[in-house]
Chains A and B, each alone.
Chain A
Amino acid sequence: LFLRDIVDDDDDDDLERVSWSGEPVGSISWSIKETASSSTSSLEGRDSGLQKGSSSYAALPKQVSSYSLSSLFKGEVPHIQHGQMFFPLTVSRDNCSTLGVGSVCSLERFRSLQDKLVLLDEAVAGHDGNVITAVLIFLKRTLRREILFRELEVRQVALCHLIHFLKEAGEQKLLLDLLRFLDRTEEVALSQYREHLNIQDVEKRREFLKGCIGLPFSAEDTSHIQDHYTLLERQIIIEANDRHLETAGQSEVFRKYPRKASILNMPLVTTLFYSCFYHYTEAEGTFSSPTNLKKTFKIPDKQYVLTALAARAKLRAWDDVDALFTTKNWLGYTKKKAPIGFHRVVEILQRNNAPVQVLQEYVRLVEDVETRLNLATKYKCHDVVIETYKDLKDRIQLTAYKCKVERGSAEEEKINSILNNMQIRWKN
């Protein structure tokens, strides 16, 4: 027996007080409720005749219409007490003599599978989330798993509702069993993978990720999960080694640029940057070498060059930058090329305050003439400007540029000598 004061009026009072513009909103909604309770009270009145046994339980009529089921519980939330599910019934004042204030209905009355399924279908038809959840909790407890799963398979709304509920309530095991039953294998895989976020200890996380590899992901995703595991595995090794190196104090780069954070759980590209920063010269054989990372994770040239460039530029290692873009062709001649536009190279170098002589080299390599001129002018790469105007045979611009260079400088001399060159066929 469970008695609880259900203060129906309180609900109405809330509605009456509430109003945004100061108008008595409550009056109309209140009248709806009154009408509703009078329509259900007629239902209850009919049913009271059907009662047997304990008078504080009301039998839910089997033919209850879909919305009425919800209207019986309107505003009230089902709860669990003494292992039983209770639906408090809101009663109007007229009927409290018959049913008693604080009556509740126990779902335990729904014994047979048939009854339970009807209850579920009615709950779903009523669209009331709380009622559906309550019924599902009841079914979860009172039905064998296989039966529950089988019945839910053909009831999409209830199924989705249960899945959502299991996710919210953190019932991971049951959720995975359900998904496996439904053959929603990818979801099982992703759901399990998601759990790795809750594991803080890196070693445990690594183990967990290893276990995820065999899961039924899509082909593409499988390779990503594999990469995630491999990356973390590498990071653990690198982190351990580098911590050692740091404390030993022998390595110059670690002394000059002490690490402010660990590399664990960082994305791949960040790890590559780190590697290009601290372990650039290492041979491919070591786990921390950039080339090893590139090979293992199949990092495209473009990304690799960009990252290496950024790291070496930050360290002001201009020779390394140079080597990055220099290739020897079969004749032994070197030439410069880049999988990214040279204007990008210039941008990154400039951001790292590269000296003009270095910057100039790369501005010179920018293919598009207009861009080259813009960058050269912007960053005061005088030689490049001068050469370009000379190539364009633009005497006017070259003359105009004289005022941008220092009086008596080598650049001014250069301009003058070019302007005086009789062999150039100027276009203007």
Chain B
Amino acid sequence: EKMFTLKPGRLPQADVKNIIFFVRPKLELMDIITDNVLREDRGRSPQRDFHILFVPRRSLLCEQWLKEQGVLGSFIHREQYSLDLIPFDGDLLSMESESAFKECYLESDQTSLYHAAKGLMTLQALYGTIPQIFGKGECARHVANMMIRMKREFPGSQNSIFPVFDTLLLLDRNVDLLTPLATQLTYEGLIDEIYGIQNTYVKLPPEKFAPKKQGEGGKDLPTEPKKLQLNSAEELYAEIRDKNFNAVGSVLSKKAKIISAAFEERHHAKTVGEIKQFVSQLPHMQAARSSLANHTSIAELIKDITSEYSLNSLTNLNITRCETTWWTSFSLAKIASEDFFDNLTVEQEFMSGIDTDKVNNYIEDCIAQKHPLIKILRLVCLQSVCNSGLKQKVLDHYKREILQTYGYEHILTLNNLEKAGLLKPQTSGRNNYPTIRKTLRLWMDDVNEQNPNDISYVYSGYAPLSVRLAQLLARPGWRSIEEVLKMLPGPHFEERQQLPTGLQKKRQHGENRVTLVFFLGGVTYAEIAALRFLSQMEDGGTEYVIATTKLINGTSWIKSLMEKLEPAPF
């Protein structure tokens, strides 16, 4: 009947018979539930019954925990709700498992891979067996193995559905550690980088969204952040989301002219019929105008930020509140207006292979000015990945500066980053990245942001490695890049699944193949944009649907690898 967010303390009043806890199997949540249950007034009438629903699976550990707290018996039903893949849009599915990357690559815990396999089995049950499976990476191999085994164990699941997908491509995130570290430059990517998109919603600073009504004076500026939903159901958003941000302005101004002209039509309507027609269009036009207003505001916000990093947008401060009180003027001063572009410049230098083997001045300056730690970590990891690991001296230098500036406890995070392969010493003495970059054409100097002809537009010059692999798989196939594939971690493989006779699809001439790309460990909006770009290419030959364990950006990704540090109380 009613839905509340889980939080500690007493449960809300609501006059209901049953209370169902709908949770992921995480121990921290079990503590909150225990608190809720213990505080429930047993004397109240009518008594309320408790149930718990784990998503996507029950967990022995959680139930043991609840038992140890003495509340397990309070639940009448303990069930699970097998929600593996959640549709985010017509071509996008996500498990929203934020710990998947950490579990798979740091802890060798393959639980999320099991769920991925189960999700894929469900997809196949709905959309037909996928005849071809390609993969690159250890986790990809595991998922494929599980799928094959699951298929064997359930022979009855052979169904007579015409396969929608021709190919499944499983990709480990650690095959391409570079892409999530770079700042995304598509419209949607930038919104995510700066404000963070959660489950297709974004919360924005309200000032630019205040309605300009006559006679309301400037008194009541809204204080609540403006919440907007972003998906392809909104026409304008679908049009601009995947464009490079520099190309958005012209679309918006064209749209403004079209909408203005449409509203002007009312002056030309002469007959009753024409007026009626105009009126019937009105809701659509008003929706379009409101959509345009919203996105113009968002574009302005982004423009402001990308030309001047202000204090308010530094959402990832890793400094305790005590420090901010008076060291603010020293450490968090308003950063000079070119900072976004300075940051971008350094990223692009690294990605194009320039000076990746020495300590970088900009990074040092940022540490000295105590920029947010995650920003620093993204940059040093980017340098490390573009250099196949840093020289021991350079690595030690960065580590020392980071620990001295942000605190020694960050040794734990740095250790995690090393384990994940993001920030490590160069072991073989060889840097493979230039070869990989050249063979796969990852850096394109002549990028066209307005009318792109290549996926590199999403990072204004850098083509996401993962998407290149997908692109080359479709045409001309991975045989052509065998050598480079060997330089990337993990095995690559191909599997075929038998289709019942009669279901083998013969593609009509001109009909596109459909490939499902599954990113194990996370995917960014920029990569999604790049795949969509490939889908709509003339003579591209393939359309893509994207699935992943989690939608990520560099900040949320690095954050998931950081040790949870308790703030010291004062």
Task: Say whether A associates with B.
Answer: yes
Q: Are A130 and B58 in contact (CB under 8 A)?
A: yes
Instruction: Verify if A331 is at the interface (C-beta below 8 Å from B).
Output: no
Q: Are A66 and B149 in contact (CB under 8 A)?
A: yes
Q: Which residues of B contact A253 (CB under 8 A)?
A: none
Q: Which residue of chain B has its CB nearest to the CB of A133?
A: B60
Instruction: Verify if B202 is at the interface (C-beta below 8 Å from A).
Output: no
Choose the segment among B76-84, B232-240, B349-357, B382-390 that binds chain A (4+ C-beta atoms closer than 8 Å).
B76-84
Summarize A's interface: helix, strand, loop or mixed.
helix
Q: Which residues of A contact B412 (CB under 8 A)?
A: 190, 193-194
Q: Which residues of A contact B411 (CB under 8 A)?
A: 190, 193, 221, 224-225
How far is A257 from B152 in the complex, measured between Cα atoms in Å?
74
Q: Are B396 and A299 in contact (CB under 8 A)?
A: no
Instruction: Verify if A297 is at the interface (C-beta below 8 Å from B).
Output: yes
Q: Which residues of A contact B81 (CB under 8 A)?
A: 14, 18
Instruction: Verify if B566 is at the interface (C-beta below 8 Å from A).
Output: yes
Between A and B, 18 residue pairs with Cβ closer than 8 Å are A11-B79, A21-B87, A25-B126, A32-B121, A67-B149, A67-B153, A79-B67, A134-B60, A163-B107, A164-B103, A194-B563, A224-B403, A228-B409, A264-B570, A265-B568, A270-B331, A302-B368, A352-B329
Q: Which residues of A contact B31 (CB under 8 A)?
A: none
Q: Which residues of A contact B306 (CB under 8 A)?
A: none
How far is A247 from B43 in the complex, measured between Cα atoms in Å?
52
Choose the segment among A52-60, A306-314, A320-328, A391-399 that binds chain B (4+ C-beta atoms closer than 8 Å).
A306-314
Q: Are A35 and B110 in contact (CB under 8 A)?
A: no
Given A32-B154, A66-B149, A269-B405, verify A130-B59 contact (CB < 8 Å): yes
How far is A32 from B126 in the complex, measured between Cα atoms in Å?
11
Interface string of A14-50 (1 = CB under 8 A from B): 1100101100010011011011101100000000000
Q: Which residues of A contact B80 (CB under 8 A)?
A: 11, 75
Smallest beta-carbon distance B372→chain A, Å = 14
Q: Which residues of B contact A370 (CB under 8 A)?
A: none
Range of interface residues on B (Cβ < 8 Å) = 35 or more
Instruction: Verify if A261 is at the interface (C-beta below 8 Å from B).
Output: yes
Smallest beta-carbon distance A422→chain B, Å = 42
Q: Which residues of A contact B122 (CB under 8 A)?
A: 29
Q: Which residue of chain B has its CB nearest to the CB of A127?
A: B114
Q: Which residue of chain A has its CB nearest to the CB of B72?
A: A79
Smallest beta-carbon distance A329→chain B, Å = 27
Instruction: Verify if A335 is at the interface (C-beta below 8 Å from B).
Output: no
Summarize B's interface: helix, strand, loop or mixed.
helix
How far is A156 from B107 in the complex, measured between Cα atoms in Å?
11
Instruction: Verify if B35 is at the interface (C-beta below 8 Å from A).
Output: no
Smallest beta-carbon distance B140→chain A, Å = 15
9 smallest CB-CB distances across A and B, nearest first, come from A35-B156, A160-B108, A261-B322, A228-B408, A129-B111, A67-B153, A267-B407, A265-B568, A77-B58
A contact residues vs B (CB 8 Å cutoff): 7, 10-11, 14-15, 18, 20-21, 25, 28-29, 31-32, 34-36, 38-39, 65-68, 71, 75-80, 127-130, 133-134, 137, 156-157, 160-161, 163-165, 167-169, 190, 193-194, 196-198, 200, 220-221, 224-225, 227-228, 231, 257, 260-262, 264-270, 273, 297, 299, 302-303, 306, 310-311, 314, 347, 351-352
How far is A310 from B117 in the complex, measured between Cα atoms in Å?
55
Q: Which residues of A contact B368 (CB under 8 A)?
A: 302-303, 306
Given A15-B82, A260-B326, verify A160-B107 contact (CB < 8 Å): yes
Selected contact of A157 from candidates B57, B67, B108, B157, CB within 8 Å: B108
How far is A167 from B103 in the complex, measured between Cα atoms in Å?
12
Smallest beta-carbon distance A9→chain B, Å = 11
Q: Are A78 and B60 in contact (CB under 8 A)?
A: yes
Q: Are A10 and B153 in contact (CB under 8 A)?
A: no
Interface residue ranges of B534-570 to A (CB < 8 Å)? 563, 565-566, 568-570
Q: Are B399 and A351 in contact (CB under 8 A)?
A: no
